[in-house]
Amino acid sequence: SHRKKMTSSRSGHLMSLMLLITHDLLEEEAVREKAAYIEDNCSAPGYEMLKKLSQTIDKVDEERYDAEAKVKKTEKEIEDLKMKVIEVQGIKKPALKKVRMSADAMLAALLGTKHKASMDFRANLKEVKKEVKEEEEVGDWRKNVDEQAGMDGRKKKFEST
């Protein structure tokens, strides 16, 4: 019988197809072997635990990254504030002048001119003392009025002051 010779392009094409099929078969076998190995040597709970651990590690890594970012931001803010403090300390404050001010002037400065309040305590205290003394000396007010009546009384009052 007569055989037809295959063209080189046809033969190359078939060869690449066979290689692809072989590759796929080998890959499938590797996956099956891996699964069989895990099944034989790794208990299901252990494998699940590894999976969970892996997920937890990923989550913790994310949180650590976020925390580091926050720390860096806070450190920068602290540095900025330190610079501001140094800046403020650099500005010299003018020395305050001592100003003598009466109590009334102080009240006016604190409360504004609306509130008129007298703070002259000493004068008020003296006045109270005077009044108390006079009452003790005079005794009966009617007697005092009689003494001051007429020219003699007025003269006495003028002389006593």
pLDDT for 138 beyond 70: no
pLDDT at 109: 77
- Taking the domains of the chain in order of start, what are their residue ranges? 121-161
Segment 32-45, tens digit of pLDDT: 999 898 888 877 77
Segment 60-112, tens digit of pLDDT: 999 999 999 999 999 999 999 999 988 888 776 667 777 777 777 777 777 76
pLDDT for 26 beyond 90: yes
The pTM score is 0.28
Mean of pLDDT over the chain: 77
DSSP string across the chain? -PPPPPPHHHHHHHHHHHHHHHHHHHHHHHHHHHHHHHHHHS-HHHHHHHHHHHHHHHHHHHHHHHHHHHHHHHHHHHHHHHHHHHHHHHSPPPPPPP----HHHHHHHHH-TT------HHHHHHHHHHHHHHHHHH--HHHHHHHHSHHHHHHHHHHH-
pLDDT for 46 beyond 60: yes
